[in-house]
Homo-oligomer: A and B are copies of this chain.
Amino acid sequence: MNSTLEQRAINTIRFLSADAVQKANSGHPGLPMGTASIAYVLWARHMRYDPQDPAWPNRDRFVLSAGHGSMLLYSMLHLSGYALPLEELKRFRQWGSKTPGHPEYGETPGVETTTGPLGQGFATGVGMAMAAAHLAGVYNRADLPLVDHWIYGIVSDGDLMEGVASEAASLAGHLRLGRLIYFYDDNRISIDGSTDRSFSEDRAARFAAYNWQVLHVADGNDLAALDQAVAAAKADPRPALIVCRTHIGFGLPTKQDTADAHGSPPGVEELAGAKEKLGWPTEPAFFIPEDVKEHFLAAGKAGQAAHAAWKELLHRYQQKEPALAAQFERVLAGELPAEMDASLPVFPPDAKGMATRQSSGKVINALAPVFPEFIGGSADLTGSNKTDFAGMVAFTPETPQGRYVYYGVREHAMGAAMNGMALYGGVIPYGGTFLVFFDYVKPAVRLAALMSQRVIYVFTHDSIGLGEDGPTHQPIEHLAALRAIPNVTVIRPADANETAYAWKAALENKTGPTALALTRQALPTLDRSAYAPAEESLKGAYVLKDYGGEPQVILMASGSEVPIIMDAAEQLAGEGIAARVVSFPSWELFEKQPQAYRESVFPASIRARVAVEAAATFGWHRWIGSDGAVIGLDHFGASAPFEILYREFGITAERVVEAAKHSLG
């Protein structure tokens, strides 16, 4: 205990973390012990944060991309005065604690994003830096830098090996996101052993190739070198990767620098050995020297002062730019503009109609002027996804106020970056790709759902209706895969007006992502004087029309298959069979309706049912029960003009008629 205050502070981080892992008998001691000095330099010397108000908009962000090292973050949050009592650290990884195994957004004050699946935190931080650059571009005025802070992170070997981090790094370099400063925990160990086994690339050269500034800290415990690196990073307009040579499980007598230090409790003896080695009292566990406690709390207090100064700045801003200030507060609160409903286009009936991707494009164009927080983009399919809008400006280093992101062919980074933007706040991100490439985005979609973030996916070319590009581009299982994820709302509108309401539902869904599944091919715009109003689609499923009196059979479909069941219902009516046609754009919206409404659409007494979707039948049995039928595609598609595919694969009114009769017995 005769070391410096700084060293004691760093050892406090190490052993708070290791003690918690040991007590839980589960967790990852290696990273916190190896990177404690980095965390110290950040929290004590560089980061601006207000532990009393973790949501202060101009705070620095910290992303622990290597989320398995969660105890590092919990130690820092506790020490710097966040509402995370020591008791919670002692309940690490236990039911109901605020200290889950990986950092979970919303569970712990001060945790900026959920991390754990490697690479995601890296790419999410890129999104945060995009949002910060954008908001600074929109709102900052001379001498009034409302948005003026940094995004820090610790990233691991595993993060850098993941493709999503590569995509995001390339994008960040391209966009010159200079506010991004990542420490690379270069400990040369992964779970399978030495990184020599699988990871021999020149990481520094790779990041330089991405247009990053690459800095080196030869000893990850060298505080002066870490300090200097941060200063150099701040002085450079590029994103920075600070390559820090660290030692996993630093201090552990036999496990340091081995994979054994990564993901298991060190063991009582090994932990005691580490404490002895680093001059730390072996007892009590969770020991925090009084001066260390004060030291960290002082850092938090400095942040509070910075926050107070920022509030004054905001006040001056409000005086000078009242309209912008009001907008800033509205968008940060996540409130929608009052003009939204009035701006939604109403599409006139049209037998020829248009593709729902096209009506979606018209909705985007209508909303963009009244939605300054709308920030769109596409993974290099702008013209196909119809995600662009009139008069838009690209988001570039020169035009950070721009609201359109050319993500390149980087679906996964797009998804993760949108998470970062949504978490950051002040923007509502939407991004486009083909529905089949949801596969590439999936890990990020899951995190959006888990973190309850308002992210909107514009998934076009949503079936075999895409035609000639063939099976690699035709989604089959994707609607099922999306619907199976908790807290994802999937909407597949059947015409232009349902598409407008799909957008409304997506924008109003503040607690989770929404996936819009949109056609490539044209669909008729229904004449709503003859059918139920399109607004009913907000309920997820609704009776479009009962054909020929008291219904005997229910036909249900989503999107492009609704016209097919309408045709079938006509044919059935001609044969004296009364069919109900249900447009079913969203299972999730429907499930939220009261039981009485659901029963009114699908009365239990009508057991003859046919569901139609040009996709896997998987999951539809829930709606058709034991006696119904599903018409879909439980095989891959093919390359041909789409009308031929519908016919050859039997997604036809004739087959629906047949199935309806069969279901009626």
Contacts and interface: CB of A to CB of B under 8 A. Distances in A.
Interface of A: 24, 26-27, 67-68, 93-97, 100-102, 104, 114-119, 157-159, 161-167, 170-171, 173-174, 190-193, 195, 197-203, 205-206, 208-211, 378, 380-384, 394, 406-410, 412-413, 436-437, 439-440, 442-443, 446-447, 449-450, 467-473, 476-477, 480-481, 483-487, 607, 616, 618-619, 621-622, 625-627, 634-636, 638-641, 644-645, 648
A474 to B, nearest CB: 10
Q: Which 3 A-B pairs have the closest CB atoms?
A: A163-B163, A198-B408, A116-B472
A626 B607 contact: yes
A31 to B, nearest CB: 14
Contacts of A412: 163
A117 B472 contact: yes
Contacts of A408: 161, 190, 192, 195, 197-199
Contact of A163 (B117, B167, B449, B473): B167
Nearest to A587: B618
B201 A101 contact: no
A174 B198 contact: yes
A163 B161 contact: no
B480 A484 contact: yes
17 contacts: A95-B638, A101-B469, A102-B469, A114-B471, A117-B472, A158-B409, A161-B380, A163-B412, A163-B440, A170-B201, A173-B201, A190-B408, A191-B381, A192-B408, A198-B408, A198-B410, A477-B484
A171 B447 CA distance: 27
Given A163-B412, A484-B481, A472 B190 contact: no
A476 B481 CA distance: 11
A598 to B, nearest CB: 14
B450 A471 contact: yes
Contacts of A378: 192
Contact of A208 (B205, B437, B626): B205
B409 A157 contact: yes
A471 B449 CA distance: 11
A636 B480 contact: no
Contacts of A443: 437, 439-440
A636 B468 contact: no
Contact of A201 (B174, B200, B487, B638): B174
A380 B191 contact: yes
Given A167-B166, A634-B486, A211 B201 contact: yes
A191 B408 CA distance: 9
Given A162-B409, A174-B201, A191-B380, A102 B470 contact: yes
Contact of A202 (B209, B450, B487): B209
Given A436-B117, A469-B116, A161 B410 contact: yes
Nearest to A117: B472
Given A191-B384, A199-B408, A27 B480 contact: no
A477 B472 contact: no
A640 B93 contact: yes
Given A100-B638, A410-B162, A618 B209 contact: no
A590 B588 CA distance: 29
Contacts of A635: 486-487
A161 B167 contact: yes
Q: Which one of A26, A162, A484 has the highest number of Cβ atoms from chain B below 10 Å of its Cβ? A: A484
Contacts of A627: 626
Contacts of A484: 476-477, 480-481, 484, 616, 618-619
A524 to B, nearest CB: 23
